Amino acid sequence: MKNNPYVGSSLDNFLQEEGLLEEINLIAVKRVIAWQIEQAMEQKNLTKTEMAAQMQTSTSSVDQLLDPEDASVTLETIERAARAVGKRVHFELVDAE
């Protein structure tokens, strides 16, 4: 039986070794942001059309914003979405491990 070099290591270590950690973290952050905006829209009873109007953008941009797999949304778009649902954005740089 072959020894598995990853037994006892963390998932983060494995992803780092495979060169995937940054990409996975980016996707995870985008999923959280999309979920939070969607929840805030539901609390305010905002449709995508109403959200787009408040953000002064198109419904396709709102769809892109809410797509958990699309990490290409700009910080400006996220900020406008946050304002539209009565929230603010807080970003923070943390030390890399």
What CATH number has the domain bearing residue 45? Answer: 1.10.260
Question: Average pLDDT for residues 78-82, to the nearest whole number?
Answer: 96
Radius of gyration over every alpha carbon of the chain, rounded to an integer in angstroms: 18
The pLDDT confidence band at residue 49, using thresholds 50, 70 and 90, is very high
Domain assignment of residue 43, yes or no: yes
Residues 36, 73: contact at Cβ < 8 Å?
Answer: no
Q: Is residue 2 part of a domain?
A: no
Q: Is the pLDDT of residue 1 over 60?
A: no
- For residue 40, the surrounding DSSP H or E stretch is helix 21-43
Residue 80 falls inside a structural domain: yes
d(CA 59, CA 48): 6
Q: What are the tokens at 11?
A: 């998932």
Beta carbons within 8 Å of 94's beta carbon, 6+ residues apart: none
pLDDT band for position 12 (cuts 50, 70, 90): low
Residue whose entry in the numeric block shows the structure tokens 């406008």: 80
Q: Name the residue range of residue 77's domain.
A: 11-84
64 neighbors 51 (Cβ within 8 angstroms): no
